[in-house]
Amino acid sequence: MFNSNDVMKAVVPAEITLQQLHEKLCSQFSVDHNQYVLQYMDEDFRDFINLTSMGDVVDLAFLRLRDKKPLANDVTAASSKSSVLTETCENVRQASWPKEFQLPEFDADVQLYLKGVENTYATSGNTATVQRDIKGKMLDSIANKIYSYTAYASAEQVKQVAKALIEKFPSLQCHSAPHGWEAWAHSISFKMGNFRSKLRKFGCEEVSMNGGKRSKVLRPDAPPPAMNIKKARKGELNFQPNLPASETEASLEDYREQIVAEMHKADPDIVMVNRYMALTFAARRKEVNAMALVATVQDRWPALFTASQVRECHQISSPLKSCSSCYSHIHELCCIHPYLDSKTASTIASSIVYSKLDYCNSTAIFLSLK
């Protein structure tokens, strides 16, 4: 099969090498074997992937030649996929916390104020006493920038932001603090708490799940606010984003059913599947956060376990941090391995790795239903 509209029958001997098969098919289709790659239908990914060994071929009927250069419809599909992600995932974070925090661009009046106090500091060495309204605008901008990475900034991350602020604007440092930035770190941390409270009132699910407060009148049986906190951990980017503004739970469930029906086809519409998968990202996260089994997720979201959807792991978690966490636990397991039998050690190692894969969820394509 050269493409969906160009299918030919090829008779090959039982004993044939991969290179010979590739050259024979390219010769039959009259194409240059250096410009085309031989692919086969993989049962796990449910997609065509490059053939590297004849041992991977289960059925010769599921082979095709693919141009190494992207085709026009592939470019269109990629462009459509990018635009879909831009339109439907505006409330989804696309990046983890940076190594160096870049301060946001402040309002025009704040910039004029900072320019004046910096000139004064350069000439006289006097630090500034920031006006309340100016400081409020600065903290608002900083809180929005922090929230673009995480809703729950750690003490170390807040410290990094405060240091970046003082390094860029030395006139803002406090001489009564040991290093000059501690007062700003306290203000930023306090501001983030107020910022989350404001988001909670506006219906942000990511922080609403942590806002349960006891009330003798309204919620006497509610758990304390510090119980079962669902903060983002281990490099997590999007624990529970809100549903798209134009969608409801019923409409997202309808999209899910359409995805399942499409994935049962021999040649599914990948552009449509990717679009609906982007739209239903928040709905999948609710199921995963409810501790759904891998087999259940695979049954309800078959498209998630395809090669084209592995990218979703980058929306949920930083893969490097999850991998490093696995290595750390396995290293500790090696220390006690001499005292364990082989079966017990294997069970513990599998549990460690599987828990991290379930945490990313989309990388669970490598797990079997067993």
d(C-alpha 317, C-alpha 363), whole Å: 11
d(C-alpha 281, C-alpha 36), whole Å: 35
Residues 6+ positions from 190 with CB-CB distance below 8 Å: none
Residues in the chain, overall count: 370
pLDDT in tens, 193-227: 899 888 888 877 777 766 666 556 555 666 665 55
Pair type for strands 36-42 and 47-50: antiparallel
Which of the residue ranges 83-87, 146-150, 226-230 would you say has the lowest mean pLDDT? 83-87
pLDDT over 50 at 80, yes or no: no
d(C-alpha 193, C-alpha 76), whole Å: 44
> Beta-carbon neighbour count of residue 308 at 10 Å?
15
| Residue 245's pLDDT band (cuts 50, 70, 90) | confident
Residue 219's beta-bridge partner residues? 215
Output the average pLDDT for the chain. 74
Tokens 């409801």: give the residue.
248
User: Is residue 140 exposed (0-12), middle (13-18) or buried (19+ Cβ within 10 Å)?
Assistant: middle
pLDDT over 80 at 148, yes or no: yes
pLDDT over 70 at 270, yes or no: yes
Q: Taking the model in full, what pTM does it have?
A: 0.53
> Beta-carbon neighbour count of residue 150 at 10 Å?
21
pLDDT in tens, 97-110: 888 999 999 999 99
The more confident residue out of 91 and 347 is: 347
d(C-alpha 186, C-alpha 155), whole Å: 10
The more confident residue out of 221 and 271 is: 271
d(C-alpha 347, C-alpha 327), whole Å: 16
pLDDT of residue 113: 92
d(C-alpha 1, C-alpha 62), whole Å: 8
At 287 the three-state DSSP class reads helix
pLDDT over 80 at 94, yes or no: no
> Beta-carbon neighbour count of residue 43 at 10 Å?
9
| Residue 54's pLDDT band (cuts 50, 70, 90) | confident
d(C-alpha 10, C-alpha 28), whole Å: 8
Cβ–Cβ under 8 Å, residues 149 and 96: yes
Residue 210 has φ and ψ, to the nearest 5°, of -105, 5
AA letter at 169: F
| Residue 186's pLDDT band (cuts 50, 70, 90) | very high
Cβ–Cβ under 8 Å, residues 48 and 268: no
DSSP 171-214: GG--TTSSSS-HHHHHHHHHHHHHHHHHHHHTT-HHHHTT----
Select the highest-mean-pLDDT range: 45-49, 89-93, 199-203, 255-259.
255-259
Cβ–Cβ under 8 Å, residues 97 and 164: no
d(C-alpha 69, C-alpha 66), whole Å: 9
